[in-house]
Every structure is written in structure tokens, then in C-alpha cells.
Structure 1
Amino acid sequence: FVATAPNVTYRWLLEMLANQGYAVIATPFVNTLDHLAMAKNVLSSFDSCLNLIYAQRILRKKSLPIYGIGHSMGCKLHLLIGSLFSVERAGNILISFNNSAARDAIPLVEQISPVMKVEFTPSPKITNRLIQKRYQIRRNLLIKFNDDDIDQTLRLSDLLRLLFPDMVTVKRLNGNHLTPLGQDINWPVGKVYTPIDAIGQWLKQEVYRDLNQLKREILLWLNPLAQIS
């Protein structure tokens, strides 16, 4: 469900980027075992949407830089796109990269199919090999959350730094694998600012400090001179 409606599940993150003046194209996908087909479909959907935006003159400058941003499985799709297709990207933002085998990613997969081996296409090993030999996006921001047991960002950073030693930034932040899915809470304040309002605002800041840290790191990487509110 997360990937089928990114405009909803990643709403806070996407609206944060839009509020800073970035045009956002949220590209949904359905999880299957064929990750290569998923990457092709995502790229096709993105290109179709971008062409429509240009045709309707919503965006007029075709020279604008394009950044990919993915979370978990979305990272793998951006890495496959950047390895197997001719695309122009100013950079990729890869959050909580995960390249697990099917037996680790899909509950009960071995019980469902005990005879026939079930695996993703491409497999984790082949995916790493493709990245190492063919990945072409030079500038990358990798984000790893401290409380994330399924994250494989550090393995990915080793691969990318062999390709582009000075172009890979790794940030370790507070949070967990689900932090990018967090949503902001609109705490209404009355005409008179009360102690309850103060407590509510404080709780909001505490709960969303991980999200705000994520926001800050993304925006600073995109534009080191940005004024971040």
C-alpha cells in the first residue's frame, strides 16, 4: 500500500519539498517479484508525466535538474534505473536502502513454496553487481536511521564510493525505517495562547524532530545555501 499511493503515504515529505519550490512527481508502483519490470514501469510513468507537464506548459524550463528520491524498495528502483537505462539525473536521494532476498523480505515465502526457490529479479547479488559496474548517477545522498534493523545503506555506500569517491554523502539520523512515512499534525491554536497549546506545540516538536532532521538534511544537500524554516 505504501508504494501504491506515495502522494498519501509520503505526503509530509513531498509537501515539504514542494513548499521549498521543488516540483514533485510522485510515481506509484505495485510490488512484485520482478523488480526490473517495476523499474521500467516507474521510469515510463515518470517520463509520461513529465512530458505531459511540459506539454501543458506547467513547467517551461526543460533544463531543470532532476533528482530521484526513494525509500526502501524505492531506492532499489532508482538504482536499477540509474544502472540500466539512459537517464539524466542531477543526483539521487536514497533513504533506508534495502536489498533483501525474497525469503527475508516476504513473510512465509519458504513455507508457501518449499520446493521451488523464490527470488527477486534481479537478485540482491546481481543488483549489487549491476550497481558496481553500470550505475551512472554521480551525486548521491544516502540516509540511514539509527533504529533500523533492515537497512543496508552502509553496504551501498561502499559500492558507490568505489565509483564516485567524492560524490557520495552518508547521513546517520535518529529515527527508524518508517520515519519518512510520518505525517505532520496541525495543532490549532485559539485566539488566546494557553498552557495546553504550549504543551501541544512541544509534543509536536518532540514527535516530529526526526522528520524535521530528515527535512533539513535533504534540503541542505539539494541546496547548501538554502534558507530552511
Structure 2
Amino acid sequence: MYTWRLIERTWCSWPPKPIGLIEMIGGSYLATTPHISYKLLLEGLTRRNIAVHAWRYIPGLDHQSQANEAWRNFRLCKTKLDLRVGVMPSSLRIGHSLGCKLHLLAPDLGRNSKAFIGLCFNNFTADQSIPLVEKVSKRLNIRTEFSPSPQETLKLITKKYSQPRNLLIKFTQDNLDQTDLLLESLQNRINDQSQAIELEGNHLTPASAGLRKNVLGSWAYDQRKSQRLEILIDTIYKYLLN
């Protein structure tokens, strides 16, 4: 059992002597309670003496504003962690689905991070992501889109994002994944070191069944899903230490 504490809008789990720090932004509505939605993933990393900060949010249309807020909140949490355990090294940023985009739009352009891991990058339009938006747009005959738009996002990544080290992870059974578009945008930069790998799983592999297991008991345990999650945890851990 791990203790989580909420600092503003970030759930934090701190081992006594952390060897590294991960800043996590989850995908869409999974991120309203990241310490539950990603429980097995995040606590698996904490067991390896990694401090975890997971930002909670409800998706909106202004992604740049949310990216800025997450970045500020992560800075606050790191300051508090530094006071407790000593100055920590730069964080490894991890995003899942929409969370990838929010990390890539951080106002420091990735400079203050150790590296970035993108899980199941997703960059759909507002109409594709939120069915209600499409209905309202048609009814009122207006065009509603995320800010920045999917096209603008990829252009900003190529022109401004400065972190060279990026590991993009996609899964074998994921029809929502757009990792290839992100990899192309990253590799169009000078001195880029980005790479992509594929693991067994689907779009929800990073999200755990932690809550379901707590409620339903041990019969809800799925050994195959657990093994896939352990491989993901191991991949992240090795990349952090590299």
C-alpha cells in the first residue's frame, strides 16, 4: 500500500529515498483520478524507488492553457519534494494519449526534463474526441476545435519542442494510436534522438484495473494484462536509468 497526497491538482507518491522522478499526465477522463486509473503502473514505479507526480484534470478545449497549468503544478510539487529528500534530478515526463500532447506543449518546451515517454499518442480533432462537440457544432453551424489544433500541435512540436530524448510506445491492438505522426514531427528536428517501440497490448494497457480489483477481489486479476503492465513498467524504469 502506498500513500498518496494531493498537492493542488497533482497526486504525489514519494518513497523514502527516491532515485528518480516521474511526472505523469494521463489520457482524457482517466486523468480525473490518475492515482486510481493508473494505480498499478504508478505504484509499480514507486516500488522501484521512483517518486511519482500525477496531474489530475478534466479535458477542455484549451490544451495550451492546461499544459501550462500542469507544468506550473509539477514545478510546485518538485520544490516540495526537494525540500523533503534533497534536490532531485530532472524529471522523466510520461504522457498517455492526450496527456502526451499536454506534456509536449509545456511552456519550457521540454528543456527542464530528463526525457519524455509518450504512450499511445493521440491527437484527434475535437469532433472526433468529443461526440457532443460535433452535435453542437452542426446544430449551431459553428466550427469548434482544440487550441492548438491537431495540425498546429505537430507544427509546434517540430519548430519549438527542444527535448531530444523521446521514447514513443505504441501497442499492437490500438486503433486510436497516432504515434507515427508524432515520430515524424520529432524526427524533422535537428539533433533528434527519438525512437518508437511496439509492445503487446491496447490503448488502455497503461491504465490499471486497480479499482476493479479492490472492489471485485482476486478473481478480477488478469495475468496476461498484468504481465503486459510489468513489461511496460520495466521499459520505463530502464529508460529512466539510462
Shorter-chain TM band:
0.7 to 0.9
Partner of 2:59: 31
**Runs of 5+ consecutive residues of structure 1 not aligned to the other structure:** 187-196, 225-229
**Runs of 5+ consecutive residues of structure 2 not aligned to the other structure:** 1-28
What does 1:112-127 correspond to in 2, within 5 Å?
A: 112-114=136-138, 115-127=141-153
Structure 1 position 209, deviation (Å) = 2.1
Residues 104 and 110, structure 2, Cα contact 8 Å, conserved in 1: no
What does 1:105-184 correspond to in 2, within 5 Å?
A: 105-114=129-138, 115-163=141-189, 167-183=193-209
Residues 174 and 210, structure 1, Cα contact 8 Å, conserved in 2: yes
Structure 1 position 155, deviation (Å) = 1.1
Residues 157 and 170, structure 1, Cα contact 8 Å, conserved in 2: yes
Any runs of at least 4 consecutive aligned residues in structure 1 with deviations exceeding 3 A, and if so which? 84-87, 183-186
Q: Which residue identity lines up with residue 218 of structure 1 in the other structure?
A: I
Q: Which has the higher contact order (CA 8 A, sep 6+)?
A: 2
Q: Which residue identity lines up with residue 73 of structure 1 in the other structure?
A: L
Residues 1:165 and 1:154: Cα distance change in structure 2 (over 3 Å): farther
CA-based RMSD: 2.2
Residues 31 and 56, structure 2, Cα contact 8 Å, conserved in 1: yes
Residues 30 and 38, structure 1, Cα contact 8 Å, conserved in 2: no
Query: Which string of whole-angstrom CA distances, capped at 9 and with x for unpartnered residues, describes residues 7-44 of structure 1?
Result: 11111111111111111111112210000111011111
2:118 corresponds, among 90, 94, 116, to 94
Q: Which residue identity lines up with residue 39 of structure 2 in the other structure?
A: R
Partner of 2:54, secondary structure, is coil
**Larger Rg over CA atoms:** 1
The alignment covers a number of residue pairs equal to: 206
1:67 corresponds, among 65, 84, 92, to 92
Percent identity reads 37
TM-score if structure 2 supplies the norm length? 0.78
Structure 1 position 110, deviation (Å) = 2.2
TM-score if structure 1 supplies the norm length? 0.82
